[in-house]
Amino acid sequence: MKTYLEFFEELDDNELTHRLVNKNRKPKGPPPIPKLLPPSEKAFLRAQDDSRANFNFTYQAARFEAGWLLNSLGGFYEHQWISDVLRCVKGGKEASVYLCRAGAEVEADLIAAKVYRPRSLRNLKNDHAYREGRDNLDDEGKIVLDDGKLHAMAQRTAYGKNLLHQSWIAYEFTSMQALHAAGADVPRPYEMAHNAILMDFVGDETGCAPTLSEISLEHGEAQNLFGRVLQNIDLLLANERIHGDLSAYNILYWEGEITLIDFPQVVSPKTNRNAFSIFVRDVTRVCEYFAKQGIGSHPRQIAADLWTKHGHRLAPEIHPRLLDAEDERDRALWQKQKNMR
Ligand SMILES: Nc1ncnc2c1ncn2[C@@H]1O[C@H](COP(=O)(O)OP(=O)(O)OP(=O)(O)O)[C@@H](O)[C@H]1O
Ligand SMILES: [Mg+2]
């Protein structure tokens, strides 16, 4: 596990100060700067205007984490989306999630800030499977069309990698916007910055809601929630999205309700050639969890039915990897699809 100092050292100045320094206004005087901050962060802190320099949070962050939070969340504070950072609720593989007190601009009392790790720490090994057939988005969620930027991304220059990192975050935010508007059980997204997303907090002041993977369900409730998750998968597909990393680890449970989270790797069922395999894997993982809760099902059949319901063609060439030759229903499914060709 790297320290925040190491995080900072891997960032270039451009990334660190990106869109955050107000160049037109002279700072009234530098705020006190901790001795050990790396030079780029010192420069960044000196250039803060007063409102951000006054952003002190309840959460007792380690020094470098504090700098990291100030950089990632300072804009939200300035625009009164948040007024305080109360605690770190989870340090995930790709991001840390902080419980924040909402600012005057938000009706809710609590709000979640998902702050991404620097792109250099992301596990990008299997990125291409998700990015296949997917446009890259900029920091406003718009498709990147600029030749220079497209070239930088294709060449994987440092700048290009930053753009790809941004695109990943923009996909999470814009997907949540679309899915929330469509009525899916996802946190309401509020705002996106270059490195963070603000959304509804699921839980209370004492901490975040558990994930399904952390709890066991009574049989009746398991049955209901299984139906609810499938409805969400169906709704996602109707909105031309596949979650891409769906499992009991990315579904929160709170007061009898579920909330799907963690959307950066969404894929389109129309443009991604891996879409059906990714979809089957999502459905299978969900079914596996509910099977442990006593609800049996046939995931490949469910996936195939939902897929065809939304007018997508099944891709028979990927069957040998997906279907179980020993399973009678799989063999029937395989036969049905061969007849469809
Ligand atoms: N809106 C939210 N409200 C409450 N808790 C949340 C919220 N979003 C995320 N969390 C908590 O933070 C954890 C990490 O979030 P998320 O899964 O989005 O990030 P991640 O870095 O991709 O995590 P992982 O790699 O562990 O899947 C979640 O498992 C959950 O416990
Ligand atoms: Mg997750």
Is residue 111 one of the residues assigned to a domain? no
Q: Does ligand 1 come within 6 angstroms of the Cβ of 99?
A: no
Query: What pLDDT sits at residue 161?
Result: 85
Is residue 213 one of the residues assigned to a domain? yes
Is residue 239 one of the residues assigned to a domain? yes
Measured in angstroms, how far is the CA atom of residue 252 from the centroid of ligand 2? 10
Measured in angstroms, how far is the CA atom of residue 112 from the centroid of ligand 1? 10
Ligand nearest to the CA of 200: 1
Query: What pLDDT sits at residue 140?
Result: 87
Q: Does ligand 1 come within 6 angstroms of the Cβ of 92?
A: yes
Last residue of a domain, one of 55, 74, 97: 55
Q: What is the CATH number of the domain that holds 326?
A: 1.10.510.10
Q: What is the pLDDT along the chain (341 residues), one digit of tens a residue?
A: 444 434 444 444 444 433 333 333 334 444 333 334 455 554 555 455 557 777 889 999 888 788 889 989 999 999 999 999 999 999 867 899 999 999 999 999 999 999 998 764 555 556 777 887 788 998 888 999 988 988 988 888 888 888 888 888 999 999 999 999 999 999 999 999 989 999 999 999 999 999 999 999 999 999 999 999 999 999 999 999 999 999 999 999 999 999 999 999 999 999 888 899 999 999 999 999 999 999 999 999 999 999 999 988 766 444 545 566 677 766 776 676 666 55
Q: At how many degrees (to 10) do helices 147-155 and 158-181 cross?
A: 110
First to last CA, the chain: 50
Is residue 272 one of the residues assigned to a domain? yes
Residue among 128, 129, 136 at smallest CA distance from 170: 136
Residue written as tokens 């109707």?
238
Residue among 332, 60, 100 at smallest CA distance from 193: 100
With the most atoms of ligand 1 within 8 angstroms of its CB, the residue from 97, 98, 168, 180 to mutate is: 97
Q: Does ligand 1 come within 6 angstroms of the Cβ of 203?
A: yes
Measured between alpha carbons, how far is 305 from 54 in angstroms, rounded to an integer? 55
Is residue 163 one of the residues assigned to a domain? no
Measured between alpha carbons, how far is 339 from 44 in angstroms, rounded to an integer? 63
Residue written as tokens 């939304």?
310
Q: What is the pTM of this model?
A: 0.80
Ligand nearest to the CA of 93: 1
Is residue 180 one of the residues assigned to a domain? no
Is residue 68 one of the residues assigned to a domain? no
Is residue 4 one of the residues assigned to a domain? yes
Which atom of ligand 1 is closest in space to residue 262's alpha carbon? 18
Q: In the sheet that 189-192 helps form, which strands lie side by side, from edge to edge?
A: 82-91, 95-102, 110-116, 196-200, 189-192
Measured in angstroms, how far is the CA atom of residue 97 from the centroid of ligand 1? 6
Q: Does ligand 1 come within 6 angstroms of the Cβ of 253?
A: no
User: Amino acid identity of 337?
Assistant: Q
For residue 290, the enclosing domain spans: 208-340
Ligand nearest to the CA of 97: 1
- Tell me how many domains the chain contains: 2
What are the φ/ψ torsions at residue 238 (nearest 5 degrees)?
-60, -25
Q: What DSSP character marks residue 122?
A: S
With the most atoms of ligand 1 within 8 angstroms of its CB, the residue from 89, 121, 130, 261 to mutate is: 261
Instruction: List the structure tokens of 167.
Output: 């695109």
Q: Does ligand 1 come within 6 angstroms of the Cβ of 97?
A: yes
